[in-house]
Amino acid sequence: MGKNFKQEIEALTKIDEKIVPPQRVIEEAFIKDYDSVYAYSIRDPEGFWGQIANELVWFEPWEKVREINLPHHKWFIGGKTNITVNALDRHADSWRRNKVAIIWLSEEGEELVATYGQLRDRVNQFANALKAKGIKKGDRVVIYMPLTIEGIIAMLACARIGAIHSVVYAGMGSGALMSRILDSKAKMVICADIGYRRGKVVRLKATVDEAVKDLDFVENIIVLRRQEPKIELSEWEYDFWELLNSHSHHCPAEVMDSEDPLFILYTSGTTGKPKGVVHVHGGFMVGTYYLTKAFFDVKDKDVYWSTSDIGWIVGHSYIVYGPLCAGATILIREGAPDYPHPGVVWEMVQKYGVSVMFTAPTAIRMFMRFGEEHIKKYDRSTLRILASAGEPLNPEAWNFAQKVILENNGHCIDNFWQTEVASPILGTMPAMPNKPGRAGKPMPGVVADVVDEAGNPVPAGQGGNLVLRQPLPYMMRTIYGDPERYKEIWNVIPNCYCTGDIAVCDEEGYFSVLGRSDDVLNVAGHRIGTADIENALVSHPAVAEAAAIGIPDDIKGEVIKVFVVLRADKSPSDGLRKTIIQHVRHELGPIATPKFVEFVEKLPKTRSGKIMRRLLRAQELGLEIGDTSTLED
Ligand code: AMP
């Protein structure tokens, strides 16, 4: 086990509270009898997933539901589809044609709306524009856009023609953006000139310019120009709306094999190299469609709001593809959840009658700190489900969400997953009794276990590695350009998918996920590799060596502390500290900003020369680290 989770595990043994969800949630829940659905999904996975896939449109049916040859697995073999047919046409050609698909809000409350019919037209126009600019099936396109309808159009247009999109969160710095464009060898970048956050303008195009300056394989840049007067474009740059408007709104969907890639999403791993997680059309579509209904309980009458962003996996699965495949009305809001005032989220819930919401523990803890008065001012009686993911949901935050935000009239449900597994794998389903402090039980189809280093299951109540014993249709298929790295994930514990998280399962089968077992931090629900931060630090000319650790924080879960060894000719100063912080921010983006920088003479290392981050962390927190021989890894 990487970190020391002893105290957390001890605290968990004291949790025995089990809370029954409100009656209205149970009555409306898509799944009322978890036990029988789960049992069926395990007894007959092919029957289970085949039945769900049958609810969707395929150009050609699959011959076989799955083929497992670990670490590889294929789903809906031989099936031909295109996720946009299910996300758009299935609704635009039905009574949902004039149903609102997306409501976009700005921080100031400005509103833009697209119905399913309109969304399909715009996606088709933009898809034709991409084709006209030479983008074909299999080409990679990087999208660096704020949370806008145009960002979603760009994603869907790529999918429509079989191009592989790779969305980079429009808050990442130029170094992170450059390494992702380089790894995916994207021919095109779609961006906006600016984004808005906390009333301020974020200059995105300047970051793109810096990122692509030495990448000659990038042929075109399409820019959503929001600022007036409009920024100048060079000859290989095009205006988003001008280009879109010059094309027809008929664009047949490219016929995709079920296993053809849909997108690459980069995430942080334990090495500094970006890890391009690849998801495919068929299985991802079936999984996100199913869990939008089965877990998030989204129905036609609902207004669904996820406070995430298209730059994260939650945005791919549960802002864009899952809810669209389920025909939902989706609310998105660009900007910060506490701007222009601390109650703005609840003001929007009241204004739009939001009934299902998906947020993160960090946000819940932030609302707790602001105080009840900002929440109670607004009517939240429409809210039936408040889902939370991204980091452990501590019992205090759960209690606040359940009792203050929902006033026990809805259900706050935790769910655990990650970029590699594009949908919940553990969670408290809406009608399931809740155990605050525990994420919940395995989702239908999921065979989860807690095991020791040798792969043996540990007894209930003991900590170990969280693994999956069966693949899922909605899991990644490979790591882009690095099949060996993909294989390693299934090799840590042979024939199991290793999540990299430490978990505990109780006697009743409820899992708690405590945190990462590797050198990956979780800051405000965002995953950041210590290697990424250290690489950014040493790319500064004054820095010789660096180590990054996470230290606990009441709101963000973890914040970043870095230890820096300066080059011989440099001496510590407050000015240098600020410059170094600014440098990391510029390279990686604001989410990776170190909170504390300590200048040290040297870093503790193992005999083989590896930095002992666990020792630094233990010293920082005043913990015992036990036998240092185990620190060799
Ligand atoms: P990402 O791939 O960026 O979505 O990050 C996934 C990681 O976030 C997981 O491996 C966990 O460490 C953490 N995580 C996500 N959801 C939860 C949850 N409900 N409880 C505990 N940790 C979580």
Residues 6+ apart with CB under 8 A from 505: 448, 449, 450, 460, 511, 512
How far apart are alpha carbons 49 and 220 in whole angstroms?
40
Atom number in ligand 1 closest to CA 426: 19
pLDDT in tens, 567-626: 999 999 999 999 999 999 999 999 999 999 999 999 998 877 788 888 998 888 887 655
CA–CA gap between residue 375 and residue 185 (Å, rounded): 46
Q: Distance between CA 327 and CA 95 in Å, rounded?
A: 11
Residue 527 beta carbon below 6 angstroms from any ligand 1 atom:
yes
pLDDT > 70? residue 458: yes
pLDDT band at 631 (very low <50, low <70, confident <90, very high): very low
* 226 CA distance to ligand 1 middle (Å): 34
What is the per-residue pLDDT for 623?
75
Q: What is the pLDDT of residue 3?
A: 61
Determine whether the shortest distance from the Cβ of 71 to ligand 1 is under 6 A: no
d(CA 521, CA 528) in angstroms, rounded, equals 5
Model pTM above 0.75: yes
- For ligand 1, is residue 525 a contact (CB within 6 Å)? no
SS (H, E, C) 229-243: CCCCCCCCEEEHHHH
Grade residue 273 by pLDDT with cuts at 50, 70 and 90. confident
Q: What is the mean pLDDT of residues 478-491?
A: 96
Say if residue 556's pLDDT is above 80: yes
How far is the centre of ligand 1, averaged over its atoms, from the C-alpha of 100 (Å)? 31
Distances (CA, A) of 202 to 152, 181, 270, 308, 587: 19, 20, 29, 18, 15
Amino acid, single-letter form, for residue 581? I
- Please give the share of the chain, as a percent, with pLDDT higher than 90: 89
Give the SS3 label for residue 350: helix
* Rounded Cα–Cα distance for residues 41 and 49 (Å): 8
Q: What is the pLDDT of residue 632?
A: 37
User: What are the C-alpha distances in Å from 208 to residues 64, 134, 277?
Assistant: 43, 20, 22
Ordered by where they begin, the domains of the chain are 18-445 (3.40.50.12780), 520-621 (3.30.300.30)
The answer to whether residues 422 and 279 touch, using CB atoms and an 8 Å cutoff, is yes
Structure tokens given for 257: 């094999």
- Residue ranges with strand state E in 235-373: 237-239, 256-257, 261-267, 275-280, 303-306, 329-333, 356-359
CA of 399 to the centre of ligand 1 (A): 20
pLDDT value, residue 247? 98
Is pLDDT of 628 > 70?
no
Over the chain, what is the mean pLDDT?
Answer: 95
Predicted local confidence at residue 624, as pLDDT: 65
Beta bridge partners of 548: 562
- pLDDT tens profile 285-315: 999 999 999 999 999 999 999 999 999 999 9
* Measured distance CA(205)–CA(366) in Å, rounded: 31
- Pocket mutation for ligand 1, best pick of 316, 318, 416, 428 (most atoms within 8 Å of C-beta): 416
Decide if 436 contacts 423 (C-beta within 8 A): no
Average pLDDT of the residues in 315-324? 98
Q: Residue 251: CB partners within 8 Å, gap ≥ 6?
A: 123, 124, 125, 127, 128, 131, 160, 161
Mean pLDDT confidence for 423-441: 97
pLDDT band at 187 (very low <50, low <70, confident <90, very high): very high
Q: Is the CB of 438 under 6 A from ligand 1?
A: no
Q: Look at the block and give the residue holding tokens 């809370």.
A: 19
Q: Model confidence over 188-200: pLDDT tens digits?
A: 999 999 999 999 9
DSSP letters, 36-47, are HHHHHHHH-HHH
